[in-house]
Amino acid sequence: MARILTYRDALREALRQAMEEDPTVILMGEDIAGGKGAPGEQDAWGGDMGVTKGLWGQFGDARVIDTPISEASYIGAAVGAATCGLRPVAELMFVDFMGVCFDQLLNQAAKFRYMFGGKAKTPVVIRTQYGAGYRTAAQHSQTLYSMFAHVPGLKVVVPSTAYDAKGLLISAIRDDDPVIFFEHKVLYDEARDDVPEAPYAIPFGEANFVREGDDVTIVALGRMVHFAAKAADVLAKNGVSCELIDPRTISPLDEDSILESVEKTGRLVVVDESYPRCSMAADIAGLVVDKAFHALKAPIRQVTAPHTPVPFAPVLEDAFIPSPAKIEAAVRSVMKGA
Amino acid sequence: MARILTYRDALREALRQAMEEDPTVILMGEDIAGGKGAPGEQDAWGGDMGVTKGLWGQFGDARVIDTPISEASYIGAAVGAATCGLRPVAELMFVDFMGVCFDQLLNQAAKFRYMFGGKAKTPVVIRTQYGAGYRTAAQHSQTLYSMFAHVPGLKVVVPSTAYDAKGLLISAIRDDDPVIFFEHKVLYDEARDDVPEAPYAIPFGEANFVREGDDVTIVALGRMVHFAAKAADVLAKNGVSCELIDPRTISPLDEDSILESVEKTGRLVVVDESYPRCSMAADIAGLVVDKAFHALKAPIRQVTAPHTPVPFAPVLEDAFIPSPAKIEAAVRSVMKGA
Amino acid sequence: MQLNRDVLTESYRKMRTIRAFEEKVHDLFETGALPGFVHLYAGEEASAVGVCAHLDDEDRIVSTHRGHGHCIAKGCDVEGMMLELFGRRSGVCGGKGGSMHIADLSKGMMGANAIVGGGPPLACGAALAAKTLKTGKVAVTFTGDGGSNQGTTLESLNLASVWKLPMLFVFENNGYAESTGSGWSVAGGDILRRAHAFDMPGFQVDGFDFFAVHEIAGEAVERARRGEGPTLIEVKFGRFYGHHEGDAQTYRAKGEVERLRADHDCLKNFRQRVTEAALLTGSELDAIDAEVDRAIESAVAVSRKAADPDPAVDLLTDVYIRY
Amino acid sequence: MQLNRDVLTESYRKMRTIRAFEEKVHDLFETGALPGFVHLYAGEEASAVGVCAHLDDEDRIVSTHRGHGHCIAKGCDVEGMMLELFGRRSGVCGGKGGSMHIADLSKGMMGANAIVGGGPPLACGAALAAKTLKTGKVAVTFTGDGGSNQGTTLESLNLASVWKLPMLFVFENNGYAESTGSGWSVAGGDILRRAHAFDMPGFQVDGFDFFAVHEIAGEAVERARRGEGPTLIEVKFGRFYGHHEGDAQTYRAKGEVERLRADHDCLKNFRQRVTEAALLTGSELDAIDAEVDRAIESAVAVSRKAADPDPAVDLLTDVYIRY
Ligand SMILES: Cc1ncc(C[n+]2csc(CCOP(=O)(O)OP(=O)(O)O)c2C)c(N)n1
Ligand SMILES: Cc1ncc(C[n+]2csc(CCOP(=O)(O)OP(=O)(O)O)c2C)c(N)n1
Ligand SMILES: [Mg+2]
Ligand SMILES: [Mg+2]
């Protein structure tokens, strides 16, 4: 009998179970409990999207820690604490805020192990919200995981379903390396699946074959997996068989699954909500034209956001986001081999 | 009669001439004059690499402005001042420090014009040092321009020669958009050319054909242009004719020149000192497999740094940096079509 | 300092306009007419207006995510603002910015800013430009209590002091950062302490009292214009609505908002002060109220009918000046 | 507080080891034997040793780009350090870190840090771990006068105060950030002011006086262990060498360094104090000097001959724990 959870609830369940199984797991972030130092209800917010709601009640002040608005110092504190026996899960409310705290990830967390000759262990997880579609405009809607994938020493996770969200977050917390965990704000409510109650871990670097097909390989990330599936349905009705791959983690990336699929189909479309330049879409295209060139029958098309900030007006934002229609058009173009 | 200047001196000449021609051009940064508030010599440093040495003496405190160690606030001040009638050129001593001030570029400078409906003008230049080879290890040796190229609203310049350094910096200062100007620390002394004394501007988005060739296109950036030229010399002796392209600016990128060249040669090797994932190397490979697929005779090879931080030990750092030998091997492999 | 009739009427009109604008936005949001995140300034009007009364279009201000009040106080067009909140093409930012990025550089309003702590460095730049170009102009950065803990804000205090910049740091302490109490998040409980730490004059003022804010701000602006450097002003008050629209506000005390509205309304205080002192009559103020309400109504009516941007034309433009 | 012989000899040995290490590194750098950027701690020994004398291996410290002294004070192996500066495979960081990233977590030394302001947030984390795990341990972050102006440092002061973390902020004010005077870059001239701003006890101490540093630091460490929160200590002194090796130091006053070496040498002060008080004899101290010099010489001898890392084996390892 199915147990349908939203992406939000699946994430909360993963946090709760990880905290129950390991007392060194702590959470920190702005208003992740809420009401700190306020006269009214404590745990008033549970995070701005309600992901951590209720955890303060179960685990208390010592393990669900609200912070002042000081991302550099509390993200850095999470990193430092991770080298001292804790497994912090810090929330960066929106990944757009990376600019005020990036040093602690780029130059600290990501480099300790290497700089210190393999002697450091930094099991920290940064949970962060990304993506357009919420009408929050240029500074609250970006898809910035490509920048994190660029950085050696970081692992980067981009779950597309509630099932994956739970299993990947549990893996992230158990992992001994720094992990940046990207949650799409629109999926908190839109993504719902049958999610087993018992804790389970989905290994990093293992892509999910969302659907098998012979004509074209579509690699899509996060929310785009759902858009690609929509496009694939339409295409199937028109006799085009798409193989849809969701890498789930982009660093490490399951290169073999992508290459095997392209060896079979000979065609590739990459769908990525990122800005186009130096993006994951480009990264995957570059991988395939190096390692599977001889199998390619057509150009590799990248379906991404345009090279513009995210606009506010709904009509503009809707045009900014890659759509099933654009994905379908890209697949048709590679089917023509043009 | 030749007028040989180093990359450093060419940059200083560009700054001086830009300041002479436009009183709204100011410089700011840490120790760009030096000796501020100290008992000894003023203008004691002229920047940690001496690029701005002497400009304080000519232009004084009001236009050559030393700062406390507060990158977020002074880079942000440069951005804000640019919207208020100045043309600031701010120095971010090492691009590795982007993590403490990135927000002012990612979410402020890059987005004003779009967010404000085309009404903002932000003519700011951020000069910054990048690259390995100086034995300064993980936090002072990175090549991070790919992250800036990812951001819509920023322009990104990567000069490889003293001649280009002067002409591109003059263009950057005259440009009305935010420009991130990447200076390779090893080139300050290594790169020397005949540099005309009179001010000249090199337009953005126009690649330089360093050498013409028929068999393989090599696209290389910054210091890698010189390494690629070395490799091309060796290959020429072995009958392999390389066309070497230096894009000079990566945002905007001269896509047409790269595509035309590959249409001719059918083969591409991209050389980029960056980390490999989501890099400029991947960006250019992705461009070509989309737009010039049918001309391709072989896989596109990317010669980059490995997916590791920059190591300290000289033997390790030397192995980290892409070498002429690695470039040569990559070209040979694509000549084999394998 | 005795204020003349024009300043009084103009100030009242602006405060009243902010209040009416925000209450209208609140209603519109509830009906689903407005997309996105909206943070209302109602209750805090005396701060924006008391400060901006001393500024002209060449003086610059930098705002926060809670920026509508600062826009109106600085003279932005209310219809253009409402159009922007609706995401219309004729909005003050062409519909591309929205509530969190609303700006009008022609009025010296450098923008709301959805990055907490994003504004103070920019204001340092505006002040540096004024100083370098010797324009005699000043810059003001509005920051919240939560934003006062951001490193970018703190280092800007140091930079402004070291560079002796002509600017004001106005900290709007409304007691909360989202649901977090400022008594907890601001070490020591008040932001004022930070003035001394960074060697600048600092003042605390009752933000429900327009006259108090106006006087302190006036002195600070004069100091800045005289080239005597920055000033820190901590404005203490509370907001009449939630952090953003949709906030259940369970973290606030029972009856807290009602008490604020009843006893700490800057508009009521203003009306009482000026009428008791016979500076303005109740009917003069009522007339302003009516004019303001009509202006807001018409701004909404225009905005409802206005055209959206056209993706084919507007999506890809305005990224760069030269491509 | 009367210090016993062991503490005195151990403290002298460490200060003397730092001095000898740095002078040797200075000479080696001049001969070109050492690659990269090297920042020497000579002249500042009393700070690192006076503070770390109160710490054990489970207490954590976070250092700066000028980290050799903090390493030695915290008990890192001098030979392993010298090997690291040579970039040898047997260096304390396998030759991958170098001078600016030298660390030994087993000694509670969380690393030199080449990002100014990079350390304080990390130290907050170490203190948070101690508090959460109830270990009774403390964390110390060493920061320079220049680093005291970095936003990450300033917001860490607020965070530590708000969270009541068991830690010390030790600001080593040596008068300069590279060539920039701290009297200019630190608004108000002293860092001590910032203690009050962030509601924590603050002290200023003569950094040439080991005993003064030792006493103040001891009280602060006790306060932290008792769970009474963080303390700010501003240590005032000067460095005996340039910012980094190769710095011409023209920004310093004529004779400044000579005066420091002559009249403000923490080692001379220490020797005078303990011999006059007959706590240790001159010959006991001479014996330590000789031992230390021998240890440094042998560390250099070993380092000269030691093997480099092997790119084929070492370049790609240690990026992740699990791939
Ligand atoms: C860098 C950054 N961190 C966090 C947020 C999310 N956020 C938006 S407003 C806000 C609270 C701000 O509180 P305060 O500064 O007191 O301003 P107020 O909302 O009370 O006017 C937070 C945490 C943000 N927008 N930017
Ligand atoms: C974020 C950052 N900005 C600038 C630098 C360059 N830099 C290295 S050391 C230094 C001066 C530091 O001065 P201070 O904090 O007083 O320490 P000291 O060198 O005097 O020990 C600067 C500007 C850096 N490494 N990191
Ligand atoms: Mg507030
Ligand atoms: Mg110093």
Domain boundaries along the sequence of chain B: 4-194, 208-335
Report chain A's terminal Cα–Cα distance, integer Å: 47
Q: Is B41 exposed, middle or buried (0-12, 13-18, 19+ CB in 10 A)?
A: middle
| Residue A265 backbone phi and psi in degrees, to 5 | -90, -35
| Residue B204 backbone phi and psi in degrees, to 5 | -75, 150
- The answer to whether the CB of A72 is under 6 A from ligand 1 is no
Atom index in ligand 2 nearest the CA of residue D244 equals 19
Q: Is C313 exposed, middle or buried (0-12, 13-18, 19+ CB in 10 A)?
A: exposed
**Residues of chain D below pLDDT 70:** 1
Q: Is the pLDDT of residue B192 over 80?
A: yes
In this predicted complex, what is the ipTM? 0.98
Q: Is the pLDDT of residue C185 over 80?
A: yes
Nearest CA in chain C to A39: C253
The model's pLDDT over B85-120, given as tens digits with 9 standing for 90+, comes to 999 999 999 999 999 999 999 999 999 999 999 999
Question: Cα(D174) to centroid of ligand 4, in Å?
Answer: 5
- The answer to whether the CB of C19 is under 6 A from ligand 1 is no
Q: How far apart are CA C54 and CA C57, in angstroms?
A: 10
The CATH code of the domain that includes C124 is 3.40.50.970
The reply to whether residue B68 touches residue D149, judged by beta carbons under 8 angstroms, is yes
Q: Kindly state the tokens that stand for C150.
A: 């951001």
Nearest CA in chain B to D33: B314
As a whole number, the mean pLDDT across chain C is: 97
Q: Do the bridges between strand B242-246 and strand B208-211 make them parallel or antiparallel, or are there none, so unpaired? A: antiparallel
Q: How far is B115 from chain D (nearest CA, A)?
A: 26
Q: How far is A333 from chain C (nearest CA, A)?
A: 21
- The answer to whether the CB of C174 is under 6 A from ligand 1 is yes
Q: How far apart are CA B45 and CA B52, in angstroms?
A: 8
Contact A104, A180 (CB under 8 A): no
- C77 domain-assigned: yes
Contact B149, A277 (CB under 8 A): yes
DSSP track, A212-273: --SSEEEEE-THHHHHHHHHHHHHHHTT--EEEEE-SEEETB-HHHHHHHHHHH--EEEE-S
Cross-chain CB nearest to B309 (options A100, A114, A300): A114
A92: chain C residues, CB-CB within 8 Å: none
Active site residue A140: yes
The one-letter code for the residue type at C151 is G
Q: HEC profile for B264-315?
A: HHCCEEEECCCCCCCCHHHHHHHHHHHHCHHHCCCCCEEECCCCCCCCCCHH
Question: Cα(C179) to centroid of ligand 3, in Å?
Answer: 9
Residue C156 near chain A (CB below 8 Å): no
Q: Is A187 exposed, middle or buried (0-12, 13-18, 19+ CB in 10 A)?
A: buried
The model's pLDDT over C47-62, given as tens digits with 9 standing for 90+, comes to 999 999 999 999 999 9
Nearest CA in chain A to D87: A117
The reply to whether residue D156 touches residue A70, judged by beta carbons under 8 angstroms, is yes
Of B140, B150, B294, B307, catalytic:
B140
B110 Cβ contact list (under 8 Å, min separation 6):
A309, B151, B152, B153, B154, B178
Give residues 239 to 258 of B whose Cβ lies within 8 Å of A: 251, 253
Mean pLDDT of C171-192: 98
Question: Cα(C117) to centroid of ligand 1, in Å?
Answer: 8
| H/E element, C236 | strand C231-236
The one-letter code for the residue type at A12 is R
CATH code for the part of the protein at A4-194: 3.40.50.970
- D88 domain-assigned: yes
The reply to whether residue D179 touches residue B315, judged by beta carbons under 8 angstroms, is no
Top-level class of domain A208-335: alpha beta
- D164 domain-assigned: yes
- The answer to whether the CB of C179 is under 6 A from ligand 1 is no
Q: Do the bridges between strand A125-130 and strand A87-94 make them parallel or antiparallel, or are there none, so unpaired? A: parallel
Residue A141 near chain B (CB below 8 Å): no
pLDDT number for residue D207: 98
As a whole number, the mean pLDDT across chain B is: 98
C310: chain A residues, CB-CB within 8 Å: 315
With 0.90 as the threshold, say if the pTM is over it. Answer: yes
- C319 domain-assigned: no
Chain B contact partners (≥3 CB pairs within 8 A)? A, C, D
Q: How far is B96 from chain A (nearest CA, A)?
A: 8
Q: Kindly state the tokens that stand for A107.
A: 């130059």
Question: Cα(B6) to centroid of ligand 2, in Å?
Answer: 27
Q: How far is D131 from chain A (nearest CA, A)?
A: 9
In the structure, how many helices (H) and strands (E) does chain D have?
13, 7
Residue A24 near chain B (CB below 8 Å): no
On the question of a cis peptide bond just before residue C120, with omega within 30 degrees of 0, the verdict is no
- Closest to B130 measured CA to CA, from B171, B178, B161, B97: B97
Atom index in ligand 1 nearest the CA of residue C244 equals 19
Contact D172, B58 (CB under 8 A): no
Separation of CA C124 from chain center:
17
D237 Cβ contact list (under 8 Å, min separation 6):
D43, D44, D46, D47, D172, D173, D174, D206, D207, D208, D264, D266
Contact A55, A15 (CB under 8 A): yes
- The answer to whether the CB of C115 is under 6 A from ligand 1 is yes
Q: Is the pLDDT of residue B1 over 90?
A: no
Could you tell me the mean pLDDT of each successive run of 10 residues in chain A, 338 residues long? 95 98 98 97 95 98 98 98 98 98 98 98 98 98 98 98 98 98 98 98 98 98 98 98 98 98 98 98 98 98 98 98 98 92
Query: Within a 13 Å sphere around the CA of C250, how many CA atoms are in the beta-carbon half?
Result: 10
The model's pLDDT over D151-174, given as tens digits with 9 standing for 90+, comes to 999 999 999 999 999 999 999 999
Q: Kindly state the tokens that stand for C210.
A: 């327009």
Tokens 């020994």 correspond to D45
Question: Cα(C174) to centroid of ligand 3, in Å?
Answer: 5
Q: Give the residue, by CA position, lying nearest to ligand 1 atom 7.
A: C116
Q: How far apart are CA B161 and CA B190, in angstroms?
A: 9
On the question of a cis peptide bond just before residue A252, with omega within 30 degrees of 0, the verdict is yes
Q: How far apart are CA A104 and CA A119, in angstroms?
A: 18
Atom index in ligand 2 nearest the CA of residue D150 equals 1
- The answer to whether the CB of A66 is under 6 A from ligand 1 is no
pLDDT number for residue D287: 98
D188: chain C residues, CB-CB within 8 Å: 161, 196-199
Reduce the DSSP state of residue D181 to 3 states and report it. Answer: strand
Q: Which residues of C18-39 are buried (b: 16+ CB within 10 A; e: fewer)?
A: bbbbbbbbbebbeeeebbbbbb
pLDDT number for residue C255: 96
The reply to whether residue A24 touches residue D133, judged by beta carbons under 8 angstroms, is yes
- The answer to whether the CB of A93 is under 6 A from ligand 1 is yes
Nearest CA in chain B to D246: B48
Percent of chain C's residues with pLDDT above 70? 100
Reduce the DSSP state of residue B179 to 3 states and report it. Answer: strand
pLDDT number for residue C1: 58
pLDDT number for residue D2: 77
Mutation target among D82, D173, D178, D256 for the B interface, most CBs of B within 10 A: D178
- C320 domain-assigned: no
Residue A97 near chain B (CB below 8 Å): yes
A102: chain C residues, CB-CB within 8 Å: none
- C221 domain-assigned: yes
Q: Is A36 exposed, middle or buried (0-12, 13-18, 19+ CB in 10 A)?
A: buried
Q: Kindly state the tokens that stand for C127.
A: 């002040």
* Domain A4-194 identical in fold to domain A208-335: yes
pLDDT number for residue C2: 77
Q: How far is C36 from chain A (nearest CA, A)?
A: 4
Tokens 């995510």 correspond to C65
**Rg (chain A; Cα; Å):** 20
C301 Cβ contact list (under 8 Å, min separation 6):
none
Classify residue C95 as left (phi > 0), alpha (psi -120 to 50) or beta. left
**How many C-beta atoms lie closer than 10 Å to residue C4's C-beta?**
9
Q: Do the bridges between strand D202-206 and strand D231-236 make them parallel or antiparallel, or are there none, so unpaired? A: parallel
D151: chain B residues, CB-CB within 8 Å: 70, 72-73, 100
